[in-house]
Chains A and B, each alone.
Chain A
Amino acid sequence: MTLQVSNSDPIAKSSPQQQRDNYLEALLSTVQQQGTPALPLSELRTRAVAIAREHGFPSPRQEDWSFTDLTPMLLVPFAAADAGAIAPPDLSLPELPEAAARLVFVNGHYSEALSHVGTRPTGVVVGNLGALYTGELKVKIDQRLGLSGNRHEMFAALNTAGFQDAALVWVPRHQTVDAPIHLVFVAIAGDRPVLSQPRCLVVAEPGSALTLVEEFYGIGESAHFSNSVSEIWVDEGAQVTHTRVQQEGSGTFHIGKTAITQGRDSTYHGTAISLGAHIARHHWEMDQTGPQTETQLNGLSAIAGRQTADTHSLIALHHPHGTANQLHKCLVDDSAHSIFNGKIWVPRAAQLTNASQLNRNLLLSNKGRIDTKPELDIVADNVKCAHGATVSQLDASEIFYLQSRGISADQAQRLLIYGFVMEILAKIPSTSLRDRLMPAVID
């Protein structure tokens, strides 16, 4: 990757804390220039700026950021992405042939030309916020946008302070959308480092069902900052199946948040695949607002070179009879570094919770690094909860077993890696997406 560094930059001379503060101010002023004219969200944005300042740009001394050092970011002055930054004509987008609709955003700007919204069941809304934020829908959006989850941090606030447009998917009561809705956020890393802020708001009203595929796709290897927020509301009795794929360029800092709010008797099945970016961090948070929810989080980070992939997840249960299962896998090659910090919070009110969390790591090199911290925080006294983490290398006895069947050592290793990642990829409901991702994961 290329970083543009200027030696005469005044921030280089100040204290680290001062540097971070200055850097955040620069980011805020950049995003405010971008966002303010685009959407009339002044109250929400003002609040977000305050939150961003209150939390500050993370320091490696903060426990939450102790393994993922963002100091290299401070050297890159990210500018706003031009609205006119049109995707190159030969742009090949990730395809999902079975999708009912596709929304494409290029560096945070909606591209009508690349999107298609197809025909949809009555009342189902799929489009960009910029065009849809009016009238009755505006009132409904105001009750949801920026309000999922209650755990604030700087990056999500930065997004709220200045995102230019957002994908909007709204499925009304008892409506089912069978084919997946495909959201593609393209990050184009060009000659100068720019900041893009993908955003989406997905609402599945009571009793509805939806399959969502979100792809963060990068073009170019130079420095880029992709700061995304996805809010997903799974109302009472609704079902959302969500796949999130991050394949951004090798010079990209990707910081993403997925905030899920689950009403009673709702089901959320999420699969997050992290393959790209230089440093990728995903905050994945579920907030339970009613009893008997079902939550499944499946994750796979497959990284090599000098990549970092960090997943911080939180499943916050506040009501009884919740079920939460999480399986997160990391495949680490070369000098790459994976981090997993998953927390399941079971307060006294969340009796009869059934939760499990497992992080499995496969280390393919001597120089890779894996940090893992599965956390169960349980106050309730009548629950069934389990968690664990494993770190291993390819098992020599498994390789010998395969070799004894005529499979070469090299092919045996690939088969074992295939098996390791397949356990997660198999959870992706779309076969075409699974088939597309497999070669990218294995190589």
Chain B
Amino acid sequence: MIYENSEVILSVRDLRASVDGTEILKGVNLTVKAGEIHAIMGLNGSGKSTLSKVLAGHPDYDMTAGEITFKGQDIAELEPHDRATAGIFLAFQYPLEIPGVSNRDFLRVAYNAHRKARGEEELDVFDFDDLIEEKLDVVKMDAAFLDRSVNEGFSGGEKKRNEILQMALLEPTLAILDETDSGLDIDALKTVANGVNQLTRPDNAVVMITHYQRLLNYIVPDYVHVMAEGRIILTGGRELAEQLEAEGYEAILEQHKTEVAVS
């Protein structure tokens, strides 16, 4: 939802980033305000996943120019875990498996890291169990998942639900969902989308990165951005996604190039 005069949560200015010396992001500009849902769409290789990783602070990506401010604070130099406790959450396209560590322990350690960062006392095992049982409802997850190793042997849909469970638990100010819809059947997609919708509030924001318009039927964006060649080249409302779906990326990109050339 777009709110008048709401707080700017994320501001990205002329962001350039490279991996192994190859520049992937070539001047990204993006402003996300509290309450808003943004969708970033684009073809493979357009830089949209790189943008999500750079925002989360992945060490393989070098930010070479520009600035990222989160709630007014420059976060370019912050470690990934400090960005996380500051309120940035990245739902992974391919969530990692951590054999031997139970989901319950992982979630508790993560949750307590957030509490510690806020100067609050850590929750003990019992209080945490009460809290996490409550959160399971958001993604309709069975409690049995808590005692399995993190993502180990989970189906694609279960892994993505587990990501949203973490989001529900950690209550980020900015959630970046990197292709959360990829590999999901329609039922799983509905469950995941429904989970995200329950978590959106006037004081937080969601950036969805996706290849397909399908997800946007369930999580309705306020803004749709199109990325190509490391930049956001087009921004519009929800109708832009529909246009993309109807006409295809090629047509839109071609049209954009012509417009740029003419102007």
Contacts and interface: CB of A to CB of B under 8 A. Distances in A.
B170 interface: yes
A400 B58 contact: yes
A406 interface: yes
Nearest to A396: B59
B170 A419 contact: no
Interface in A409-423: 409, 411-412, 415-416, 418-423
Contact of B100 (A401, A404, A420): A420
A17 interface: no
B90 A406 contact: no
Contacts, number: 78
Contacts of A407: 81, 109-110, 113
A contact patch SS? helix
A92 interface: no
A221 to B, nearest CB: 31
Contact of B117 (A401, A406, A415): A406
Interface stretch (B91-99, B211-219, B253-261): B91-99
A112 interface: no
Contacts of B170: 405-406
Contacts of A426: 100
B36 to A, nearest CB: 22
A403 B84 contact: yes
A130 B106 CA distance: 51
B66 interface: no
A408 to B, nearest CB: 5
Contacts of A122: none
Interface residues of B, number: 29
A419 B95 CA distance: 17
Contact of B106 (A409, A415, A420, A421): A415
Interface in B28-87: 56-60, 79-81, 83-85
Nearest to B96: A401
Contacts of A409: 79, 81
Interface in A371-414: 395-398, 400-409, 411-412
Given A409-B81, A419-B149, A402 B100 contact: no
A396 B59 CA distance: 9
Chain A contact-residue range equals 20 to 34
B96 A405 contact: no
Given A400-B59, A419-B100, A405 B95 contact: no
B81 A408 contact: yes
B10 to A, nearest CB: 16
Contacts of B90: 404
B166 interface: yes
A397 B92 CA distance: 11
Contact of A411 (B96, B113, B166): B113
Given A401-B92, A419-B101, 7 more contacts: A400-B59, A402-B106, A411-B113, A412-B81, A415-B109, A420-B100, A423-B99
Interface of B: 56-60, 79-81, 83-85, 89-90, 92, 95-96, 98-101, 106, 109-110, 113-114, 117, 149, 166, 170
Interface of A: 395-398, 400-409, 411-412, 415-416, 418-423, 426
12 contacts: A403-B79, A404-B83, A404-B90, A405-B106, A406-B81, A406-B114, A407-B109, A409-B79, A411-B113, A419-B98, A420-B100, A423-B100
